[in-house]
C-alpha cells in the first residue's frame, strides 16, 4: 500500500511525528486515533498516545465544549511522551480547530474538513470570520479537504443514506492520514470487517470512506509527498499497545494467578477508573468476580468482606470515591487484612475535572484517614508499568496484611504505549500464607488462634479466613489487645498497637528496591525526583537538557510509603533537588518532612501532563542557578537550593 | 486442632460450644441477652459447623454480638455490615453469614446497603434489633422512633415519621421477611431457624427492649399479659386469627384492604389465609402495616418467604458457564488479546 503514484515525490523519511485528531465528540476521533495507533504499532514504531475527552458525554455539537481529541506520537526511536505539540492537526470542524490552535506551533500542518466550516459552525466555535479564508492561519500549512461530501458521495453508490454516511467521515480522515504517513490499510480493513460484521451497511460505508480517504491522498494533487516513519529499534519480543487501566486489570488478574487467591473487585463506576471494571468483568473464566456496588463505600466494604473470606479484595476509584472509602480503609488498617485500593487520580477538589489528569491525591492516600493509619502507597509511571505496580500492590497487601493504595491517573489510565510482554511463567509467586494451626495455648492446655500474634520479621498478623476448625476468632474496628486481639481500651496497649502498626508499614522499606538514579556521568549537581505519570515528561526533559551539554540526574519513585531505603542518601548527594508534580507540591512536602532536604517544587495543575519542554526549562533554570551559586561561592556552596518556584 | 477437625462429620454441639469466652457487656436487663441466648441455643439444632459460621456487625449495642459467639466474627463500622457481608457471601457460598444490626445501624447510616443487599438477594441472614432508640450513643431518637418522641436530641419532640422496617424490606424486594420479639425465645428460635434455612437474603425484625433508654417500648404488645390480645401469629396456610381463643381475625375486604374483625361477626371462610410464598408482596406489605405501632394488634412470624436466584450462586454460575465456554483463563493469551506484534 505504500506505493505512491507518479504525481508525488517519493515519500520523505521523518524520525518522528505527532498527530492530533480533533473533532466533535460524536465524530469518532478516539476511534480514528486508536486505529492509526494500532497500524503504527504493527509497523514497529515506538509510540505514545493521549486521548483528550470532553467532560460531557454529548455537549452540543460543534461547540468548544464538545471537542474530543486524540494525540499520537510515533517515532523511529524510543520516545517517552505523546509529544508536546502536534505537527499535524486534523480538524473535523471549526471548534476542533479553535480548541487546538493554542498548542499548534508555527509551521504545523492543519488538515481541515472544509465542509464543516459553514457559518453556523464557525459561529458556534466563536469565529467571526472563516479562518481558512481570512489569512489568520498563514503560519501553518493548511489543507482543505471536503471530507464530509466525498464520504457521502462514495457511500451513496453503496446505497447508504447521506445522514448515515456522514458518520463514516472519521474513516475518511483515517484513510487520508494513513496515506500521508504510509500506514497500511489492511489492519484497519480487517478490524472494520470484524467489528461491523453484523451491520453490513455500516461496514460498507466505513470501508468506502477509509479507502476514499487513502485514494484522495494519492490522487489529489494537494500533498507534495507522503511521509514515512520507520520502525524503532525496540527490544526483541512480543508487544501489545496497552492503556494504564487495562494494564492494572491484567496485573490484578496476574496477581490472582500467582497468589492463587480468587480476585474480587468491589467498585462503583467513576471516571476515569471505570474501564478497569469493564475489563475485569470480561474475564470471568479467570475466576474473577466483579461487583458493581450501590456506592463507593459498599464497593470497598464488599472488597474487604471478600478479603476476610480469603479472596484478593480490590476496589477501584478516583478522588471523590477515595474520600468516601476512607472509613473502610481505616477499618482495613485496623483489621490488618489485605486490600488493594486503586485510585485513578483526576483533577480535584470535589467533582473537579473528571476527565483530566492530576496527581492531587498523594497526601490524601498518605494521610486521609482519622487516627494513626499508615499504609503502603505505590504509583505507576507509565501505562504498562501499571501491570507491575498492580502486582507489587498485591504482594505488599498480602505479605503485610494491609490495605495498599495504588495511584495511577487519568493520563496513564487512557494513554497507551507499546509494552513488551513479560514471561508469565516467571512472575514471582505470592504466598497467601494462610494460618493453618492455632498459635496460642491457653493455661488449661487448649489451643486457639491469637489473631494479632505477629510474625517477628514482618510484624504481619495471621490471615485466617473462616472455614478452618479450631481457628475461630473475632476481629473488629475497636482497638485490640496486642496478641490475643480481644477488645482493649487501655492506653498503654493502644500505644503499643499504634506503634506496631506504624513499624510494620515502615519496615516494608527493607523489602523494596533501592531507588535507581539515572545520572549518566555521575557528575550532575541537580537531581530531578518525580513520581507517577510525570516519568515520561521528566525523562524526555532530562534528555533534552543533556543534549544541550549539561548533566542532570533523574530518580523516579514507585514506592511512596514507605520510601526506598536509600532515598535520603540520594537526595543529600545532589546540590539541588527539583520535584515536578501535577499538584501544588505534595511529594516535595513529604520529602522535606522526612529528610529535611530543601527540595525545589515545580508544579502545574492544568489537567494535562507536563510537556517535556516545561521540564527542560525548569531543569535549565535550576542548573543555571547552581552554576551561578558555585561561581559566587567559589569553592563552597550553600547546602540549600532556595525557595519554591 | 479441636473437636470439629474431622472432615465430613458434624459433631453434636451444645450452647456452650457456641459461646465465646468474652464477658457480655450489655446493660443488665437488656433484651439483647435473650436474643443472644436464642441464637446460641438454636445453632446446635441447625447441624451447622462453627468454622463455617460468621457473625458480622456494624456499630451499636447489637453490634457487639459477634464477640460473644465462638465462631468467626467481624465487628465492622457503622452501617456497612451488609456491604461487607456481600463480599464475603459472594465469594464464600460455603459459609453461613449472619448480620446483626440495629435500627440506627441499618435503617439510618446504613440504609442504602440494607436495601441493596435485600434487592440483590445476597445469601445472608439479617437480624435487626429494633429498639426504636440509639442506645450506644446514649439515647437519641432513631429512624424507627415514633413521631413526637422526646429524647436527648429532641427535647421538644421528634418531627420525623418512622420507617416501618418490614414495609421497607418488602419494598426493597426482600425474599424473606419476618418479625419476632425478645420476650419469646421459642418464637425467636423458630423464626431464626426459618431465616437461616432460606437461600438468599433473610430479614428478621426483632422487637428488642432497651431498658435503659426506651424501656417498655413494646410492652403493650409483648408483655406476657398482653401478647394474647396484641400479637397476631402468622402461620402459613392457616387463616390469620389471634386472641386467647382465636376470637379475632384478619379479613381481606372487597376494596383490597385488610382489617381486623371478630371471628364471630364473619364467616370463618372469609378470614385471610396466610400465604408466605405469594409471589406478589402486596398482601405481605399490607400485613406489615396492619398496626401503626407497638400499641395495636401486630402480626409476628414469617410474612414472606419466596424463592429467587441468589446472588453469590448466580455469580458462581456465570464463572462456571464462561469457563466452560471459553476454557479456563490463560494469562499469556490474555496479555496478547489486543493485537500483538513481534519485534525480532
Ligand atoms: S443501651 Fe439499651 S440496647 Fe444498649 S445495651 Fe443498654 S439496654 Fe441494651
Q: Where does A517-634 sit in CATH, by number?
A: 3.40.50.920
Please tell me the predicted confidence (pLDDT) of residue A9: 65
Q: What's the complex ipTM?
A: 0.97
B-chain residues within 8 Å CB-CB of A469? Answer: 1-5, 49-51
Ligand 1 atom 6: residue of nearest CA: B27
Parse chain A into domains and list their residue ranges: 9-229, 240-426, 433-511, 517-634
Residue with CA nearest ligand 1 atom 1: B135
Domains A9-229 and A517-634 share a fold: no
Residue A515 CA: distances (Å) to CA of A374, A383, A560: 21, 20, 11
Q: For the ranges A519-528, B8-17, B164-173, B222-231, which has the lowest average pLDDT?
A: B8-17
CB-nearest to A298 from B22, B116, B322 is B116
Residues B122/B86, Cβ–Cβ less than 8 Å: yes
The strand pair at A67-75 and A16-24 is best described as antiparallel
Report the distance separating Cα A311 and Cα A465, nearest Å. 9
Q: Which of residues 268-327 of B touch A (CB under 8 A)?
A: 315, 318-319, 322-323, 325-327
Whole-number Å distance, alpha carbon B140 to ligand 1 midpoint, is 12
For the record, the C-alpha cell of A260 comes out as 492463587
End-to-end CA, chain A: 52
- For residue A237, give the 3-state DSSP assignment: strand
In the reported structure, the alpha carbon of residue B324 is separated from the centroid of ligand 1 by a whole-number distance in angstroms of 52
Position B6 pLDDT exceeds 70? no
Query: Which atom of ligand 1 lies at the shortest distance from residue B25's CA?
Result: 5
Report which of A338, A361, A322, A336 is spatially closest to residue A252, judged by C-alpha positions. Answer: A338
**SS percent in chain B: helix, strand, coil, step 5:** 35, 20, 45
Chain B residues touching A289 at Cβ < 8 A: 90-91, 315, 319
Give the chain B residue whose CA is nearest to the CA of A313: B87
What pLDDT score was predicted for residue A635? 53
Contacting A residues, span 214-243, partner chain B, CB-CB under 8 Å: 231, 234-242
Residues of B in contact with A256 (CB under 8 A): none
> What distances in angstroms separate CA A621 from CA A8, A83, A550, A628, A645, one per listed residue?
46, 22, 12, 11, 10
Find where cell 543529600 sits.
A572
Q: How many residues does chain A have?
A: 645
Three-state DSSP class for residue B271: strand
Residues of chain A neighbouring B94 (CB-CB closer than 8 A): 467
Predicted confidence (pLDDT) at residue B312 exceeds the cutoff of 60: yes
Q: Which residues line ligand 1 (CB under 6 A)?
A: B 26-27, 30, 32, 61, 131, 135, 210-213
Q: Domain A9-229 adopts which CATH fold?
A: Pyruvate-ferredoxin Oxidoreductase; domain 3 (3.40.920)
pLDDT of residue A640: 43
Atom 8 of ligand 1: nearest residue by CA position: B30
Which residues in B lie closer than 8 A to residue A309 (C-beta atoms)? Answer: 87-88, 91-92, 95
Biggest CA–CA distance in chain A, Å, is 98
Distance, in Å, from the CA atom of A377 to the CA atom of A206, rounded to the nearest integer, reads 46
Q: Which of A244, A242, A252, A315 is nearest to A283 (CA)?
A: A252
Q: B5 falls in which pLDDT band (50, 70, 90)?
A: very low
Within chain B, what is the greatest distance between any pair of CA atoms?
95
Is the C-alpha dihedral spanning B24, B30, B32, B35 positive or negative?
Answer: positive
> pLDDT for B12-56, tens place per residue?
999 999 999 999 999 999 999 999 999 999 999 999 999 999 999
The whole-angstrom distance between A590's CA and the closest CA on chain B is: 30
Q: Among A231, A239, A250, whose Cβ lies nearest the Cβ of B334?
A: A250
pLDDT at A638: 45
Residue A163: per-residue pLDDT: 86
- The pLDDT of residue A195 is 94
CB of A549 within 8 Å of any CB in chain B? no
Q: Provide the b/e sequence for A314-351 (b: ≥16 CB within 10 Å).
A: bbbbbbbbbbbbbbbbbbbbbbbbbbbbbbbbbbbeee
Residue found by looking up cell 419476618 in the block: B178
Q: Is the peptide bond before A241 cis (omega within 30 degrees of 0)?
A: no
| Closest chain B C-alpha to A104 CA, distance in angstroms | 31
| pLDDT tens per residue, range A531-553 | 999 999 999 999 999 999 999 99
Return the SS3 of A357. coil
In the three-class reduction of DSSP (H, G, I as helix; E, B as strand; rest coil), residue A556 is classed as strand
Contact, A452 vs A476, CB < 8 A?
no
Residue A613's pLDDT is what? 95
Burial per residue of B177-192, b for 16 or more beta-carbon CB atoms within 10 angstroms, e otherwise: bbbbbbbbeebbbbbb
pLDDT of residue B339: 77
Q: pTM of the full predicted structure?
A: 0.94
How close is the Cα of B61 to the center of ligand 1, in Å?
6
| Residues of chain A where predicted confidence (pLDDT) is lower than 50 | 1-7, 637-645
Query: pLDDT at position A309, please?
Result: 98
Q: Give pLDDT, residue B4.
A: 41
Q: Which residues of A touch B22 (CB under 8 A)?
A: 474, 486-487
Which cell numbers hold the place of A111?
488538515
Minimum CA–CA partner of B111 in chain A: A294
Which one-letter DSSP state was computed for residue A1?
A: -
CATH class of domain segment(s) A240-426: alpha beta
Candidates A424, A447, A465; nearest CB to B335: A424
- β-pairing verdict for A88-91 and A109-113: parallel
| Locus of grid cell 458521495 | A153
Sheet of strand A141-145: strand arrangement: A141-145, A109-113, A88-91, A16-24, A67-75, A46-52, A416-420, A237-243, B341-343
| CA-based nearest residue to A442, from B24, B11, B4, B20 | B20
CB within 8 Å of chain B, chain A residues 176-205 = 187
Distance from CA of A522 to the nearest CA of B (A): 33
How many Å apart are CA A224 and CA A439, to the nearest integer?
79
Q: What is the dihedral angle through the alpha carbons of B58, B64, B65, B69, rounded to the nearest 10 degrees?
A: 120
Q: Which parts of chain B are beta strand (E)?
A: 53-57, 72-75, 96-102, 125-130, 176-181, 202-207, 231-234, 241-242, 248-252, 258-262, 298-305, 341-343
The answer to whether residue B3 scores a pLDDT higher than 70 is no
pLDDT at residue number B137: 93
What are A70-84's pLDDT values in tens digits?
Answer: 999 999 999 999 999
Beta strand B96-102 with B72-75 is unpaired
d(CA A63, CA A65): 5
Q: Sort out which chain B residues have CB atoms less than 8 A from A424's CB and list them.
A: 331-332, 335
Retrieve residue B80's grid coordinates.
456497612
Q: Which of B25, B133, B135, B216 to mutate to test the pocket of ligand 1 (most atoms within 8 A of CB)?
A: B135
Q: Which of B315, B329, B341 sits opposite A289 (nearest CB)?
A: B315
With a CB cutoff of 8 Å and minimum separation 6, the contacts of A138 are: none
Q: Which helix (H) or strand (E) holds A156?
A: helix A147-156
pLDDT value of position A107? 93
Best B122, B341, B342, B344 residue to mutate vs chain A (most A CBs within 10 Å):
B341
At B2 the pLDDT is 41
Amino acid at each position: 500500500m505504500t506505493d505512491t503514484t507518479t504525481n508525488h515525490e517519493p515519500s520523505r523519511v521523518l524520525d518522528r511525528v505527532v498527530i492530533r485528531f480533533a473533532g466533535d465528540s460524536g465524530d469518532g476521533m478516539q476511534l480514528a486515533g486508536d486505529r492509526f495507533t494500532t497500524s503504527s504499532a504493527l509497523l514497529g514504531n515506538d509510540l505514545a498516545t493521549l486521548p483528550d475527552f470532553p467532560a460531557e458525554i454529548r455537549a452540543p455539537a460543534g461547540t468548544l465544549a464538545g471537542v474530543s481529541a486524540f494525540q499520537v506520537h510515533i517515532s523511529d526511536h524510543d520516545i517517552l511522551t505523546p509529544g508536546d505539540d502536534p505537527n499535524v492537526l486534523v480538524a473535523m470542524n471549526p471548534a476542533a480547530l479553535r480548541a487546538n490552535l493554542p498548542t499548534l506551533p508555527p509551521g504545523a500542518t492543519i488538515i481541515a474538513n472544509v465542509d464543516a466550516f459553514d457559518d453556523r459552525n464557525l459561529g458556534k466555535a466563536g469565529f467571526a470570520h472563516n479562518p481558512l479564508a481570512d489569512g489568520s492561519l498563514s503560519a501553518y500549512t493548511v489543507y482543505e479537504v471536503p471530507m464530509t461530501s466525498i464520504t457521502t458521495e462514495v457511500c451513496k453508490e453503496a446505497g447508504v443514506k447521506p445522514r448515515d454516511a456522514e458518520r463514516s467521515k472519521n474513516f475518511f480522515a483515517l484513510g487520508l492520514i494513513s496515506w500521508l504517513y504510509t500506514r497500511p490499510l489492511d489492519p484497519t480493513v480487517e478490524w472494520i470487517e470484524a467489528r461491523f460484521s453484523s451491520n453490513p451497511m455500516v461496514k460498507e460505508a466505513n470501508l468506502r470512506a477509509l479507502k476514499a480517504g487513502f485514494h484522495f491522498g494519492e490522487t489529489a494533487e494537494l500533498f507534495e509527498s507522503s511521509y514515512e516513519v520507520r520502525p524503532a529499534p525496540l527490544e526483541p519480543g512480543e508487544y501489545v499497545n496497552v492503556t494504564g487501566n487495562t494494564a492494572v486489570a491484567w496485573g490484578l488478574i496476574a496477581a490472582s494467578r500467582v497468589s492463587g487467591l480468587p480476585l474480587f473487585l468491589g467498585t462503583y463506576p467513576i471516571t476515569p477508573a471505570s474501564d478497569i471494571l469493564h475489563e475485569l468483568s470480561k474475564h470471568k473464566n479467570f475466576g474473577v468476580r466483579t461487583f458493581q456496588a450501590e456506592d463507593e463505600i459498599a464497593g470497598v466494604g464488599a472488597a474487604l468482606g471478600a478479603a476476610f473470606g480469603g479472596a484478593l479484595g480490590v476496589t477501584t476509584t478516583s478522588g471523590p470515591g477515595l474520600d468516601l472509602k476512607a472509613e473502610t480503609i481505616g477499618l482495613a488498617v485496623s483489621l490488618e487484612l489485605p486490600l488493594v485500593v486503586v485510585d485513578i487520580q483526576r483533577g480535584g477538589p470535589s467533582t473537579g475535572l473528571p476527565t483530566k489528569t492530576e496527581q492531587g491525591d498523594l497526601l490524601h492516600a498518605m494521610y486521609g484517614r482519622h487516627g494513626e493509619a499508615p499504609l503502603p502507597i505505590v504509583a505507576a509511571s507509565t501505562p504498562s508499568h501499571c501491570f507491575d505496580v498492580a502486582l507489587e500492590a498485591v504482594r505488599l497487601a498480602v505479605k503485610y496484611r494491609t490495605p495498599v493504595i495504588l495511584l495511577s491517573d487519568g493520563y496513564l489510565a487512557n494513554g497507551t504505549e507499546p509494552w513488551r510482554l513479560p514471561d508469565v511463567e516467571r512472575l514471582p509467586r505470592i504466598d497467601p500464607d494462610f494460618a493453618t494451626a492455632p498459635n496460642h495455648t491457653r493455661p488449661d492446655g487448649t489451643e486457639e488462634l491469637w489473631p494479632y500474634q505477629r510474625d517477628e520479621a514482618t510484624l504481619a498478623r495471621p490471615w485466617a479466613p473462616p472455614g478452618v476448625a479450631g481457628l475461630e476468632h473475632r476481629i473488629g474496628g475497636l482497638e485490640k489487645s496486642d496478641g490475643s486481639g480481644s477488645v482493649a481500651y487501655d492506653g498503654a496497649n493502644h500505644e503499643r498497637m499504634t506503634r506496631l502498626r506504624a513499624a510494620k508499614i515502615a519496615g516494608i522499606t527493607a523489602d523494596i528496591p533501592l531507588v535507581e538514579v539515572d545520572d549518566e556521568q555521575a557528575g550532575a549537581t541537580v537531581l530531578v525526583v518525580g513520581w507517577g505519570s510525570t516519568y515520561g515528561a521528566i525523562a524526555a526533559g532530562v534528555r533534552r537538557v543533556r543534549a544541550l551539554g549539561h548533566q542532570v540526574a533523574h530518580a523516579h519513585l514507585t514506592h511512596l510509603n514507605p520510601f526506598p531505603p536509600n532515598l535520603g542518601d540520594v537526595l543529600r548527594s545532589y546540590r539541588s533537588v527539583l520535584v515536578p508534580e501535577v499538584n501544588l507540591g505534595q511529594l516535595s512536602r513529604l520529602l522535606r518532612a522526612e529528610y529535611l532536604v530543601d527540595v525545589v517544587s515545580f508544579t502545574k495543575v492544568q489537567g494535562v501532563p507536563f510537556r517535556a519542554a516545561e521540564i527542560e526549562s525548569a531543569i535549565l533554570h535550576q542548573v543555571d542557578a547552581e552554576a551561578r551559586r558555585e561561581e559566587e561561592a567559589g569553592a563552597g556552596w550553600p547546602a540549600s537550593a532556595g525557595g519554591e518556584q | 486442632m479441636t473437636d470439629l477437625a474431622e472432615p465430613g462429620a458434624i459433631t453434636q454441639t451444645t450452647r456452650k460450644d457456641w459461646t465465646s469466652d468474652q464477658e457480655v457487656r450489655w446493660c443488665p436487663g437488656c433484651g439483647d441477652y435473650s436474643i443472644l441466648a436464642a441464637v446460641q441455643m438454636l445453632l446446635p439444632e441447625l447441624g451447622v459447623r462453627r468454622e463455617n459460621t460468621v457473625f458480622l456487625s456494624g456499630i451499636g449495642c447489637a453490634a457487639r454480638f459477634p464477640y460473644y459467639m465462638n465462631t468467626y466474627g467481624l465487628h465492622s463500622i457503622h452501617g456497612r455490615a451488609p456491604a461487607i457481608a456481600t463480599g464475603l457471601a459472594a465469594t464464600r457460598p460455603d459459609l453461613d453469614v449472619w448480620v446483626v444490626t440495629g435500627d440506627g445501624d441499618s435503617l439510618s447510616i446504613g440504609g442504602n446497603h440494607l436495601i441493596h443487599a435485600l434487592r440483590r438477594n445476597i445469601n445472608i441472614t439479617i437480624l435487626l434489633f429494633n429498639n426504636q432508640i440509639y442506645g450506644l450513643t446514649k439515647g437519641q431518637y432513631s429512624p424507627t422512633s415514633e413521631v413526637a418522641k422526646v429524647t436527648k436530641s429532641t427535647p421538644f419532640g421528634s418531627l420525623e415519621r418512622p420507617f416501618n422496617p418490614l414495609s421497607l424490606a418488602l419494598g426493597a424486594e426482600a425474599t424473606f421477611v419476618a418479625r419476632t420479639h425478645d420476650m419469646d425465645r421459642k418464637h425467636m428460635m423458630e423464626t431464626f431457624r426459618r431465616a437461616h434455612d432460606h437461600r438468599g437474603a433473610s430479614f428478621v425484625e426483632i422487637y428488642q427492649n432497651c431498658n435503659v433508654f426506651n424501656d417498655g417500648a413494646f410492652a403493650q404488645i409483648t408483655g406476657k399479659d398482653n401478647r394474647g390480645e396484641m400479637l397476631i401469629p402468622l402461620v402459613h396456610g392457616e387463616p390469620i386469627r389471634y386472641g386467647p381463643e382465636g376470637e379475632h381475625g384478619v379479613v381481606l375486604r372487597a376494596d383490597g384492604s385488610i382489617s381486623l374483625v371478630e371471628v364471630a361477626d364473619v364467616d370463618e371462610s372469609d378470614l385471610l389465609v396466610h400465604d408466605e410464598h405469594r409471589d406478589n408482596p402486596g398482601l405481605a406489605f399490607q400485613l406489615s402495616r396492619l398496626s401503626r405501632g407497638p400499641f395495636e394488634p401486630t402480626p409476628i412470624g414469617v410474612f414472606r418467604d419466596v424463592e429467587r436466584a441468589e446472588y453469590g450462586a448466580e455469580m458462581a454460575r456465570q464463572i462456571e458457564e464462561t469457563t466452560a465456554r471459553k476454557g479456563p483463563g490463560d494469562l499469556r493469551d490474555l496479555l496478547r488479546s489486543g493485537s500483538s506484534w513481534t519485534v525480532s
